[in-house]
Amino acid sequence: MPKAILFDASKCSGCRACQIACKSWNQRGATYTTNTGSYENPPQLTSECWMRIKFNEVDAGTADTPDIKWRFTKYQCMHCEEATCVKVCPSGATAKHKVTSGDEEAYVVMTDAAKCVGCNYCVATCPFKACRYGEADKSVFRCVMCFDRISNDAASFPHMQQFGKEWTEKMQAEFPRNIPACVQTCTTGALSFGEREDLIKKAKARVDYLKKEKKVAGAQTYGIDPVGGVGTLRYLYVLEDSPDAYGLPTDPKVPAGVEGWSLLAKPMGAFALGGMVVAAALNYVIHRRNAGLESKEEGV
């Protein structure tokens, strides 16, 4: 059963508690930023910033009767069904990792830092520009949907154990703990985590509500149906306007050649990793090339 996160933009207040919680749980550092004339910061995803809230201002009204909208979007790796990064990864570092053993559909896309050769093919080809290379760890990073939380039984959380099984079960029913950090910290209920099927129902019901009760003509979902060339997403969105207005790509393009490349690169990568000397040489070349690559990506 696929798992997913639902982001309901109609409930998001842009408080960015999720952005901070992500850094807190995943032990990401901060960078010195500057104000560039917006509340939005950091200016882009990096190896230290796996998700961020985008702020988009639009005036949907006329000069006399302004109708200002401030659109907040949670932006991070979408954990695509047809993940480009998985296809292009030569070393097998980036792969779909199963959340529940034996359940192929319940996956998150993750990069194993120990295996990552730093080739940056995934960074270059990601249609969402959602994975980023980190020089310090010599690996690519992205949202991992808090794999370490969601793949664990809540009862194994250290702070839960003192209260015993019965209490833990009660708490789990009411306030589940083994959910992604961003979801747990969300103040307004804009984020939820669970079975993708359940969230699809929830998202559709919310869109119906927004259209009927709130007269939001542009209400729509994103990520439920296949998007661009990457299939369906494991991040679902309820939006009050077109994905464009939120800074989400309406038709994320997978660069031509990815399919062919994956056929070529994978065996090569496996071969390279097979020989220590070759691997070390490859690593050296690639990392040299990557120096300074971190800051050059456009802001998403």
Partner 1 sequence: MTNHWVDLKNSDVHMVCGSNPTENHPCAWKWVEESRTKLGAKVIVVDPRFTRTASKADIFSFLRPGTDIAFFGGLINYAIGKNYIQWEYVQNYTNAPFVVDPSYSFDQATGHFNGWDAEKKAYGAAAAIWKWVYTDAAQTTPARVALVDVDNMPAARGKPVGPVDGNGNFIPRRDDPLFGQTVFAALEQHYSRYTPEMVEAVTGMPKDKFTQIAELYCGTTYKNDKSGNLQYAMGLTQSTVGVEKIRTFSVLQLLLGNTGLPGGGINALRGESNVQGSTDYALLYQYLPGYLPAPEADKLNSRAALNANYGADKVSGFWLNEPKWLSSLLVSWYGKYAKENLDRAFDLIPKKEKAGSDYSHIPLFEAMYAGTIKGLITWGQNPPVGGPNANLESAAMDKLEWYVAVDLWDTEAMNFWRRPGVKPGEIKTKVWALPAASSIEKSGSVSNSGRLAQFRWKAVEPPGEAKSDLWIVDELMNKLKELYEADTNAPAREAITELFWDYERDAEGEIEVENIGLEISGFTYPTDVKDTKDFWDKARKAPVASFAALKDDGSTACANWIYGGIWSSEADAASYADKVGVPKEQVSRYRATWQSQFEGKKIFADQAEMGIYPMWGYSWPLNRKVIYNRCSMDVNGEPWGKNKALVRWNGAGWDRYDVPDFTVANPDTSVAVPAVSAAAPFIMNNDKGAQVGKVFTNATKEGPFPEHYEPRESPVKNLMNGAQWNPAIVSEYQSAKDDPAKYGFAEVGSKDYPYIGITYRVTEHWQAGAMTRNLTWLSEAMPEMFVEMSESLAGKLSIKNGDKVEVSSVRGKVQGVAIVTLRMRALTIGANGSKQEVEVVGLPWHYGYIGDFPGGPERGKIPPRSYAANQVTPHVGDANTTIPEYKGFLVNLKKVK
User: Where along the sequence are the contacts to partner 1 (CB under 8 A)?
Assistant: 11, 13-17, 19-20, 23-24, 29-39, 41-42, 57-59, 65-66, 68-72, 163, 170-171, 173-175, 187-189, 213-214
Please identify, using beta-carbon distances, which residue of 175 and 271 lies nearer to partner 1: 175
Please identify, using beta-carbon distances, which residue of 69 and 115 lies nearer to partner 1: 69
Residue 117 to residue 91: CA distance in whole angstroms:
7
Residue 92: partners with Cβ closer than 8 Å, 6 or more residues away: 112, 115, 266, 269, 270, 273
Residue 153 to residue 177: CA distance in whole angstroms:
9
Q: How far is the CB of 43 from partner 1 (least distance, A)?
A: 10
Helix (H) or strand (E) holding 125, with range, is helix 121-125
The length of the chain in residues reads 300
Q: How far is the CB of 39 from partner 1 (least distance, A)?
A: 7
Q: How far is the CB of 204 from partner 1 (least distance, A)?
A: 16
Q: How far is the CB of 189 from partner 1 (least distance, A)?
A: 6
Please identify, using beta-carbon distances, which residue of 34 and 101 lies nearer to partner 1: 34
Q: Are 140 and 133 in contact (CB under 8 A)?
A: yes
Q: How far is the CB of 47 from partner 1 (least distance, A)?
A: 14
Q: Are 105 and 79 in contact (CB under 8 A)?
A: no
Please identify, using beta-carbon distances, which residue of 30 and 268 lies nearer to partner 1: 30
Helices 258-274, 276-290: crossing angle, 10 deg rounding: 130
Please identify, using beta-carbon distances, which residue of 189 and 226 lies nearer to partner 1: 189
Q: How many Cβ atoms are within 10 Å of 230's Cβ, its own excluded? A: 23
Please identify, using beta-carbon distances, which residue of 170 and 253 lies nearer to partner 1: 170
Q: Are 40 and 72 in contact (CB under 8 A)?
A: no
Q: How far is the CB of 15 from partner 1 (least distance, A)?
A: 4
